[in-house]
Amino acid sequence: MLLGALAWLLTLPLLRSPYRHRWAVVPLALGLAGFTFLGLARKARWETALPAGFQAVEGRIDAPWTRQGERLRTRIELSAPASMRGLSLPLTVPADGEQAPPVPGTPVRLRTDLRPVQPAPVFLVERPLWRARSDEAPRRIHLASAQLLEATGPAGPSLLLRLQTFARRRFEALPLGPTAKDLWGALALGIPPADEAHFSVFAESGTLHILVVSGLQVTLVMAAMEALLRRLRQRGAAAGAIAAGLVYAGLVGFSAPVWRGLFMGVAWAVGRSSGWKLPPVAGLHGALLLWLLGHPGAGVEPGFLLAWWALLGLLWGADPLAGLLSPLLGRLALPFARLAAPWLSTLPLLALLHGGAPWWGILANLLVLPLVAVLTPVCLALILLPLPGLTEGAAALLTWMGDGLAPALTGIAPLATGVLWPWLLLALGWLALAHLQGRLKRTRALTVGLMAASLWLLALRGTGRVPDTLSLESVDIGQGDALLLRVPGGDATLIDTGPGPWPGRRLARVLSRRGVREPVHLVLTHAHADHAGGWATLARLWPLASTSVPVTAGAEDPWSPFRPVGAEPGGLLRGDAWTRGGAAFSVRWPPGAFSLTDANAVSVVLRVDWRDRQLWLMGDALAIQEKDLLDLGDPGPSPHRLLKAGHHGSRSASDPAWVAALKPELAIIPAGLRNRFEHPNPETLETFRRQGTMAWITGPSAGVRAAAVEGGWHVETGDGAAAFTPLRSPTP
């Protein structure tokens, strides 16, 4: 901050020089960066000072209840404690509880655990991003039952809450199928899809922004109202559009994206009504700057950054790109450039934030956005006034878009970001191009450089990082297993994928940030959702060199709920072995094809030997399998071991006799933070303590990575901690 302020002061004299126009952007950029970082620091201090843990809380239910999976979600506006008065926090209860939750507008009191928002792992470049989610609250309330909400008076909803509840009831009464209901609610009212698969499909096609009420939908509604009023009467169209935007924003809730849409919609309406005396470029960017100055933390929000860089590409990158392509494409150069420039300008941010870019993002948006422009106001109108025939037609179109069009356009180009500086330079290059183009300077050389750099990075599949030692990383994907194993000279191996689509996307980002460029080998230990739920999503996001599962007996296929289309995994049994790089892999369980009701009993147990180190990856193997392994002669001699504890460190695994036979120096326990199973069990932790084994838990650490180094194991966690565990002295 001090260096930035000093640089800003040093540039002030340049404003009086003959070159002031050239350098005016420097203090402006530094000033905006300063506002952003000051805002983040202020928000961090404010969040840290708020109460956390069990507190007596009073407030009023402030939003309609929305079902998300197995829970109902709303918001509560607090009146106590005094330090949090006026703050609106998300609140969830079980969806199928014995007692219905209080209706919106009801004053309630409760005693609950105020949970702080957990920071994301540092290495995913997400540490500042979680603070920038301006529509999220610094604390969350997660209740085990709606009975904990004690009503202290009759419901007294505000006019705005009455309007939201009315619209929600009208929407719930519409005769819609699952896909149409998910997309209708998302487009018109900002209701998150109940089926996470719909979220994944739109994310992988580059059209995720249409599944939340954002600046796009608000601006579309305002533009539609402005066009309608302009056709009906010549005067007052801008004021009517602004009023419509305010009503719609109140209907869906004044979140950060909605506020941004209002700013941009107002700029558009005012500019159009004034005959564009204020150029649209200046108006839209002025609106974004006003938002940024009022909400500095938004300067590192992924959606904000992607929208701004796409706008840079569309407004200032398309013409230089068209000039470069005109000898090849002729008249088609400019239309093609207007489609390609936003994709190219957002490519570095997509790689850094998501681990890849959608191949068909341009075409998908070209086909989907016109439908959204029509369907958003139509769906909103049909909620208020449903018309037979038109409602069914809109539902059929949404179903086709969600089940046919968007899935046909999915496809991700995985991009490694193990080395950051090429991606950062590429992103800054598009800023420089916009600056030069806006000043009518020559941009041909810079455009050629940006195109060449983008194509080079795409051809190389990003910037890789070759491992120089054995490492095992337990990725924080909630309650479940997802391990990344890397060895020098060998391809990466993933063991399990976590419980669903979101962990699959998180794994793709981990592979990208660790510099993995090659197709990965996947081992699924057993057919439980917390280990195999992300298989289908990961297979769409990252190429798989091979997939292996334990051999089972029985007529039913236990993998059918998780299997991607066309996947034919290989089978694993005890004795199977292979090498990868300098590491030797050996399957130690199951010894045969079993047909058992508990899939944990056939969980793959994998041993990995590398030099003087040995890894035991237990999957969800239980104590009974550990005793069987002892009877079969395992674990055998090895000087130094790392154990991935079985069954998330539960009481039914990590038998003391097995741990004593292994004598691991290090144990990694994949267990989600505050998981409902209360893993790991204190008895398991005590077993490791008695053996002198250092145990690390994935959830509280935001992920754990252990690497073999000289003299021991180097451990680093997602929250920035690091430790060294020395090797045991050889037993005489």
Residue ranges of alpha helices (H) inside 522-667 are 529-532, 535-541, 623-631, 656-662
Average pLDDT over residues 580-599: 90
81 in a domain, yes or no? yes
Average pLDDT over residues 497-501: 89
Domain stop point among 157, 177, 202: 157
Q: Is 30 helix (H, G, I), strand (E, B) or coil?
A: helix
pLDDT at position 247, please? Answer: 83
Half-sphere exposure of 612 toward its Cβ, with a 13 Å CA cutoff?
12
Regarding whether 296 and 218 lie in a shared domain, the answer is yes
Label the pairing between strands 640-644 and 613-617: parallel
Least confident of 84-93, 279-288, 470-479: 279-288
Taking alpha carbons only, the member of 459, 513, 457 closest to residue 486 is 513
Regarding whether 105 and 29 lie in a shared domain, the answer is no
Regarding whether 443 and 331 lie in a shared domain, the answer is yes
Regarding whether 691 and 648 lie in a shared domain, the answer is yes
Least confident of 310-314, 566-570, 584-588, 640-644: 310-314
Both tokens of 580, joined, read: 């990868």
Tell me how far apart the alpha carbons of residues 27 and 711 are, in angstroms, rounded to a whole number: 50
Least confident of 126-135, 407-416, 609-618: 126-135
pLDDT at position 578, please? Answer: 96
pLDDT at position 14, please? Answer: 46
Structure-token match 């992103």, residue found = 427
Q: For residues 395 and 387, is the Cβ–Cβ distance under 8 A? A: no
Average pLDDT over residues 719-731: 83
Least confident of 36-50, 62-76, 147-161, 653-667: 36-50
Confidence of residue 629 (pLDDT cuts 50, 70, 90): very high
pLDDT > 70? residue 486: yes
Q: For residues 183 and 198, is the Cβ–Cβ distance under 8 A? A: yes
731 in a domain, yes or no? no
What pLDDT, in 10s, does the model give residues 290-344?
A: 666 666 556 566 777 777 788 778 777 888 888 888 888 888 888 888 888 888 9
Count of beta carbons in the 10 Å neighbourhood of residue 183:
28
Q: How many domains is the chain partitioned into structurally?
A: 5
Regarding whether 481 and 436 lie in a shared domain, the answer is no
561 in a domain, yes or no? no
Element holding 586 (H helix, E strand):
strand 583-589
pLDDT > 50? residue 97: yes
What are the CB-based long-range contacts (under 8 Å, 24+) for 120-126?
120/702, 120/718, 121/476, 121/702, 121/703, 121/718, 121/719, 122/718, 122/719, 122/720, 123/513, 123/514, 123/718, 124/509, 124/510, 124/513, 124/718, 125/352, 125/353, 125/513, 126/353
Q: Is 359 helix (H, G, I), strand (E, B) or coil?
A: coil
Confidence of residue 37 (pLDDT cuts 50, 70, 90): low
Q: Which amino acid is at 685?
A: L
732 in a domain, yes or no? no
pLDDT at position 471, please? Answer: 96
pLDDT > 70? residue 150: yes
Confidence of residue 36 (pLDDT cuts 50, 70, 90): low
pLDDT at position 491, please? Answer: 94
For residue 586, give its domain range: 471-553+570-726
Confidence of residue 273 (pLDDT cuts 50, 70, 90): confident
Regarding whether 187 and 90 lie in a shared domain, the answer is no
560 in a domain, yes or no? no
CATH of the domain at 58: 2.40.50.140
What pLDDT, in 10s, does the model give residues 570-587?
A: 999 999 999 999 899 999
The model carries a pTM of 0.83
The residue that leads in pLDDT, 28 or 149, is 149
Least confident of 18-32, 225-239, 307-321: 18-32
Least confident of 226-230, 390-394, 655-659: 226-230
Domain stop point among 115, 131, 157: 157
Q: Is 617 helix (H, G, I), strand (E, B) or coil?
A: strand
Considering Cα of 157, then 163, then 164, then 166, what sign does the dihedral take?
positive
558 in a domain, yes or no? no
pLDDT at position 292, please? Answer: 64
Regarding whether 71 and 38 lie in a shared domain, the answer is no
Average pLDDT over residues 484-493: 95
Taking alpha carbons only, the member of 237, 236, 295 closest to residue 263 is 295
pLDDT at position 130, please? Answer: 44
CATH of the domain at 656: 3.60.15.10
Label the pairing between strands 462-463 and 416-417: parallel
Bridge partners of 56, per DSSP, are 111
Q: Which amino acid is at 7?
A: A
438 in a domain, yes or no? yes
Both tokens of 336, joined, read: 């093609």
Tell me how far apart the alpha carbons of residues 167 and 63 are, in angstroms, rounded to a whole number: 12
Cα-Cα-Cα-Cα torsion 443, 444, 450, 453, nearest 10 degrees, comes to -150
Average pLDDT over residues 555-573: 89
Regarding whether 338 and 290 lie in a shared domain, the answer is no
Least confident of 258-272, 405-419, 467-481: 258-272
Regarding whether 502 and 632 lie in a shared domain, the answer is yes
pLDDT at position 621, please? Answer: 94
Of the chain, the percentage scoring pLDDT greater than 70 comes to 85
Average pLDDT over residues 681-699: 94
Tell me how far apart the alpha carbons of residues 500 and 260 are, in angstroms, rounded to a whole number: 31
Extract the runs of DSSP E, i.e. beta strands, from 415-480.
Answer: 416-417, 462-463, 471-474
Taking alpha carbons only, the member of 503, 74, 187 closest to residue 179 is 187
Regarding whether 404 and 480 lie in a shared domain, the answer is no
Average pLDDT over residues 214-229: 75
Structure-token match 């006034």, residue found = 385
Taking alpha carbons only, the member of 367, 373, 382 closest to residue 176 is 382
pLDDT > 60? residue 425: yes
Least confident of 63-67, 135-139, 229-233: 135-139
pLDDT > 90? residue 485: yes
Regarding whether 195 and 97 lie in a shared domain, the answer is no
Domain stop point among 134, 157, 180: 157
Regarding whether 153 and 198 lie in a shared domain, the answer is no
